[in-house]
Chain A
Amino acid sequence: MVIDLDRCTGCQACVVACRQENNVSFAGEKEARLGRAKFWMNLISEAKGTYPDVEMRFLPIPCMQCDHPPCTIVCPVAATYKNPEGIVAQVYPRCIGVRMCISNCPYTVRYFNWQAPSWPDDYKRGRNPDVYKRRKGITEKCNFCIQRIRKAKENAKREKRTIRDGEVIPACAETCPSEAIYFGDLNEPKSRVYRLSKSRRAFRLLEYLGTEPKVYYLKEGEWDDG
């Protein structure tokens, strides 16, 4: 995934789209105040300075799907692992809720189910049937809308072809109003994300930790992509 911060407006469409697609329920005022609201795609912000020299930044952060994920190695029951496609997946029935993975994630993008989902009955009709049920007491996280990837793979298999660049779009990327989020195969040199990841504007979060994130950001500024 590549997120172009020069296009991002901090609008949070990605945040809501993700919750609607993945049946991530809202926490409510009380739980949210305890920091228990779950945002598989989260928008973090920082404002600093003294009027009128002020600065404010917004950063959308999904799971970085690290190539060397610090979260998987600490799981005592192998509930989380890097799958063959490179996605850091969570096996819900196996998770016992020890939360080691949460404390070991430097990007704080893993979320614990402190409560069962708080949907009123009326909202339950609007849940996505492609997404697995998740109970209270387990950890959940962004999986790049794995249900969409699977569906695209099935379609491609049926039509006896490989997945086309841009065919799989996670909910966040699909809705992004200013087209700031791109998704594709980072191993495919012809893909758009591969090209963008090589841009001179590209950087990754906390790169020095050696986690090898598969989410690239493009910093704001003039054209210098070469």
Chain B
Amino acid sequence: MIGAATLGMALPDELLHALPKEGEWIPYEEYWSTGICLQCPSGCGLRIRSVNRWPVKLEGIRDYPVNKGRLCPKGQAGLQALYDPDRIRHPLRRKAKRGEGQWEKISWDEAIPLVTQRLKKLREAGRPHQLLVLGGRYRGHMLDLMNRFMEAYGSPNHLGNPYRGSEGILKGHFFTMGERDFLSIHWEETNYVLSFGAGLLEASRPSMINLRGYGSLRRGRPGIRGKLVQVEPRFSVTASKADQWIPIEPGTDGALALGMAHWIIKEKRYDQDFISRYTFGFEDWKDSSGKSRTGFKTLVLKEYSPRQVSQVTGIPEETIIRIAGEFSSHRPSVAVSGRGVGMQTNGAYSQMAIDSLNALVGSFDRRGGLLLQRRPPFQIWPPVQRDAISERGFSQTRIDGAGQLPFPFAGEVPSRLPEEIGRGEPYPIDTLFLYYTNPLFSIPESEKFRTALEKIPFIVSFSPFMDETTRLADLILPDGTYLERWQDDHPEPGPGFSMVGMRSPVLDKPLHDVRNTGDVLIEIAKGLGGSVERSFPWKDMKEALRETIKGVFKSKRGSIRTKDFDEFWKAMVDAGGWWEDSYPFGEWKKKFNTPSGRFEFYSQTMERGLSEFFRKGLKDLNSILEELKIEAKGDKAFLPHFEKPRLIGEEKDFPFHLIHYKLMTTAEGRGANQPFLQEIFGPHLKEKWDSWVEINPVTARTMGIKDGDAVWVESKIGKVKTKARLFPGTHPKRIHIPYGQGHRAYGRWAEGRGINPNDLLGREYDYLGGFLSHFSTRVKVYKA
């Protein structure tokens, strides 16, 4: 916020907008400040150039560990979020029927008491658990703040997972390592990257580290050109830039990993030292009762020879052997995954198999391997104050059934909400908060969700934009954009070593009459009084953040070291954040957070979790596995293995398998309201401002479909009309639709444009992983 205060006396408006004619020079006042991008979850550092008070250009902070001075196209388009003409400019109260779009402007002084009064009554009636919060892109301590609010208020119904759509990967890491974050690649020193459907150059996490990393893999080290191998059914941008593209039968990534593991074990190419010192369950073992148990090695050697795997994956045996050879002999090598793994009914097991590959070559926490994200030394906030009402409310069962069978390991199951809310079981929901989430766009079968929302008497949205779900709200308390508020940001995964970014308002006040939701939440808590108020001993979000950052200051480590905290804070805001200088490799004992303290081929975490249920005398193991739709029995169920993916729709009625994908321009469908991104939407097919369905050219010809023809795509769930594009990177039996278009609201640039693949998808699950598998729907295609 350098110099922002001095710019209070703004220039007249006509001067602000003036551009010089050729040869002319109009004087202006310029200054630079810092911020953190939020166009995707990467969390890149921003240098913001402002002219006469207004931001005019975003660049990267040169030494910021995530992006090192660079930005992706979404980052570059960020000012179009700030200046979006369709932003919500002040609090709004619904006037006519829900969804009719009739609003009246109200002041913040009127609006906040509307929420406080309602929540107060709900609490006094002993029903605080009937508050439901759906949150999305939380960053930094905003998630902690909302969790804190829910605990103090007394509701367990917070669905705030910022990693929605990638839970399969996280669950795999959790079962094998007890790790709850994504891992990033130590690109600077790796020699071989084997990607199982990771959109490393399109939509991955952390996007900028991967783009930058790709450059350094190729030409960062004189004489060494690292290799990239892409395993993916569709020929993506990443596949086109890879050294090899290996097309695979969808949902069989786990089998391929195990086939490679078979060869690596058989040929003794694995890291024997790492396996014996830091892993559990590789060899057969005896449990405490002396019973002999199956190890990873025995299972893999018996069931996953490259020949067996070749039949499942459709990949030739010699290819499997070749990449197994390359992977194990070009160390440091890493195996990474993406949506291809995380969106299938067997996602968690597939990820365990891929993690096992990494364990075999010992690539965790090593130079050129995979990095386990360290957390910053924050000062912990004082404990939450809870009274009898919040104790009772907080201990109610969650409405979405997360943590119960058949979702024993799920933190949340948003896609089950329509039924649960609709039935009003186990209890009705009274009030809903929406924070940075838009389930009517992002969850399949959104019509059911819409119907369920009708049952909720009071809906509050904090969105800066009029998205599909916000349109159904009764009250909107708009937040600003990421350039206008105080908010910290610790990227997970980031560069591995701990770091924290700091957003500060680029303008002396937000562009419109909007407020940081953090501030609003603290104000609501204060209005509720009692223990809820006492849980929030801060004036606003900035003060709460200052308290956490004191821990970083006291650590006396990293990029900023000062004597005095105020000095530290100022330096941190100016620099855009604080970070450590190096990554502590080889801390396996500290980082593997499993019952054995090692990497677990055999997941005792999973075994213990499930045995909770049969210890309670509810069910025996086999019937639990059956309920989770797991075919394996006994020890195999706790080891990485291949489960056949389940699909919705029969092949004879629905001959195509629908797999949607993401483009660089649209990571999560949030950029659709930015014209710069719309106009470069799909470069591989020169598509702009629209979506389409990709069909194999040969298949299309036999169906009489020409490039550009209008077609219907139909599944058991629904049908959509769109444009056919013939793309040779499509398998004859699959079709692909880019994700991100098909908004029914969200401003003039996004609304009514293209199609949303969620309108076709059914709801099938990886029950063990506890998430919806998006790639499980079959469709048919015919000319419109």
- Establish whether residues A20 and B729, one from each chain, have CB atoms under 8 Å apart when the complex forms: no
From 406 to 434 in chain B, residues with beta carbon under 8 angstroms from any chain A beta carbon are none
B22 pairs with A180, CB closer than 8 A: no
Contacts A50-B728, A175-B59; A132 near B22 (Cβ below 8 A): yes
**Chain A 146-188 interface residues, beta-carbon cutoff 8 Å to B:** 171, 174-180
Report chain B residues within 8 Å CB of A207.
Answer: none
Contact (Cβ within 8 A) B684 A11: no
A2-10, A62-70, A102-110 - interface stretch: A2-10
* A9 pairs with B211, CB closer than 8 A: yes
Q: Evaluate contact between A45 and B728: CB separation under 8 angstroms.
A: no
Residue from B80, B83, B237, B241 having most chain A Cβ neighbours under 10 A:
B241
Cα–Cα, bound, A134→B73 (Å): 24
CB of A48 to closest CB in B, whole Å? 7
Q: Is the CB of B59 within 8 A of A174?
A: yes
Q: Report if A32-B83 is in contact (Cβ < 8 Å); known contacts: A175-B76, A176-B70, A223-B225.
A: no
**Given A9-B201, A131-B19, A132-B20, is A16 in contact with B235 using a C-beta cutoff of 8 Å?**
no
Mark contacts of B678-692 with chain A using CB atoms, 8 A cut-off: 1 yes-contact digit, 0 otherwise.
111001111011100
Which residues on B sit within 8 Å (CB–CB) of A180? 215
Q: From B94-102, B216-224, B360-368, B491-499, give the one contacting chain A.
A: B216-224
- Set B22, B69, B80, B676: member contacting A93, Cβ < 8 A: B22
Say whether A85 faces chain B, with CB atoms less than 8 Å apart.
Answer: no
Q: Which of A23, A93, A129 has the most CB of B within 10 A?
A: A129
Question: In the complex, which residues of chain A have a beta carbon less than 8 angstroms from the beta carbon of B225?
Answer: 6, 222-223
**B57 contacts the other chain (CB 8 A):** yes
On chain B, the residues within 8 Å of A47 by CB distance are 235, 240, 684-685, 727-729
Q: How far is the CB of B28 from chain A (nearest CB, A)?
A: 5
B51: interface (CB < 8 Å): yes
B730 touches A (CB below 8 Å): yes
- Residues A40-84 near B (CB distance < 8 A): 43, 45, 47-52, 54-58
Assess the A19–B676 pair: CB atoms within 8 A.
Answer: yes
Q: Which residues of A contact B732 (CB under 8 A)?
A: 51
B333 CB–A CB distance under 8 Å: no
Task: Give the residues in chain A near B688, CB-CB below 8 Å.
Answer: 29, 32-33, 37
Q: Known: A43-B683, A128-B56, A133-B21. Contact between A51 and B211, CB under 8 A? A: no
Q: Is the CB of B683 within 8 A of A16?
A: no
The answer to whether B80 touches A178, judged by C-beta atoms less than 8 angstroms apart, is no
Q: Give the CA-CA distance A75 to B173 in the complex, in Å.
A: 63
Given known A49-B728, A124-B17, contact A12–B665 (CB-CB < 8 A): yes
Contact A177 B59, beta carbon cutoff 8 Å: no
Say yes or no for B79: interface residue by CB 8 A criterion. yes
Contact assessment for A51 and B731 in the assembled complex, using a CB-CB cutoff below 8 Å: yes
**Closest partner residue, chain A, to B236 (CB atom):** A56
Whether the pair A56, B240 counts as a contact (CB closer than 8 A) is yes
Given contact pairs A51-B696, A128-B56, A16 touches B201 in the complex (Cβ within 8 A): no
Q: Is A208 in the interface zone, CB < 8 Å from B?
A: no
A210 to B55, CA, bound (A): 43
Asked if B676 and A132 make an inter-chain contact with CB atoms under 8 angstroms apart, the answer reads no
Closest to A175 in B: B71
Q: Which of A55, A126, A132 has the most CB of B within 10 A?
A: A126
Which bucket holds chain B's interface residue count? 35 or more
Q: A28-B675, A51-B732 are in contact. Are A174 and B69 (CB under 8 A)?
A: yes
Asked if B77 CB lies within 8 Å of chain A CBs, one says: yes
Contact B20 A133 (CB under 8 A): yes
Are the CB atoms of B83 and A45 closer together than 8 Å? Answer: no
Candidate in A4, A13, A15, A222 with the most chain B CB atoms within 10 angstroms: A13
**Is B743 among interface residues, defined by CB-CB distance under 8 A?**
no
Name the residue of chain B whose CB is nearest to the CB of A221. Answer: B225
With A7-B214, A13-B72, A132-B22 known to touch, is A58 a contact of B683 (CB < 8 Å)? yes
> Cβ of B115 < 8 Å from any Cβ of A?
no
| Bound-complex Cα distance A121 to B54 (A) | 13
Residues of B within 8 A of A39 (CB): 680
* Interface: B338 (CB within 8 A): no
For residue A26, CB closer than 8 A to chain B, the reply is yes
CB contacts (< 8 Å) of A177 on chain B: these are: 67, 70-72, 208, 211-212, 215
Q: Which of these, A13, A32, A122, contacts B73 with CB under 8 Å?
A: A13
* Cβ contact within 8 Å between B22 and A175: no
> Nearest chain-A residue to B51 (Cβ)?
A129
CA distance A8 to B674 in the complex (A): 24
B76 and A17 contact, CB distance less than 8 A: yes
The answer to the question of B522 belonging to the interface, with a C-beta cut-off of 8 Å to chain A, is no
Task: Decide: A13 and B71 in contact? CB cutoff 8 A.
Answer: yes
Query: In whole angstroms, what is the CA distance A6 to B226 when docked?
Result: 11
Residues of chain A with a CB closer than 8 A to B680's CB: 12, 15-16, 39, 43
**Nearest Cβ in chain B — how far from A90, in angstroms?**
9
Q: Once the chains bind, are A20 and B83 in contact (CB under 8 Å)? A: no
A111 located at the interface, meaning its Cβ lies under 8 Å from any Cβ of chain B in the complex: no
B222 CB contact (under 8 Å) in A4, A52, A223: A223
How far apart are the CA atoms of A122 and B749 in the complex, in Å?
14
Type the 1/0 row for B199-234, where 1 means its CB is closer than 8 Å to any CB of A: 001000000100110111011001111000000000
Contact at A129–B215, with CB atoms within 8 Å?
A: no
Evaluate contact between B76 and A10: CB separation under 8 angstroms. Answer: no
Indicate with 1 or 0, residue by residue over B725-743, a CB within 8 angstroms of chain A CB atoms: 0011111100000000000
Asked if B388 is at the interface of the complex by the 8 Å CB criterion, the answer is no
A128 and B85 contacting across the interface, CB-CB below 8 Å:
no
CB of A116 within 8 A of chain B? no
Chain B positions within 8 Å of A56 at CB level: 235, 237, 240, 684, 729
Q: Is A214 an interface residue (CB 8 A)?
A: no
CB distance from B90 to the nearest CB of A (A): 15
**Interface-central residue, A17, A29, A178, by most chain B CB under 10 Å:** A178
Interface residues of B (CB under 8 A from A): 16-24, 26, 28, 51-52, 54-60, 67, 69-73, 75-77, 79-80, 82-85, 201, 208, 211-212, 214-216, 218-219, 222-225, 235, 237, 240-241, 245, 247, 664-665, 675-680, 683-686, 688-690, 696-698, 727-732, 753
Query: 7 shortest A-B CB distances, which residue pairs?
Result: A178-B215, A177-B211, A56-B240, A16-B76, A29-B689, A125-B54, A7-B215
A-B contact pairs, 9 of them (CB 8 A): A6-B219, A10-B683, A29-B753, A47-B728, A52-B235, A54-B240, A56-B729, A123-B80, A126-B55
Supplied contacts A7-B219, A11-B72, A175-B71, 15 more A-B pairs, CB within 8 Å: A11-B211, A12-B665, A13-B71, A19-B676, A37-B688, A45-B685, A47-B685, A51-B730, A56-B235, A58-B684, A175-B75, A177-B70, A177-B211, A223-B223, A223-B224
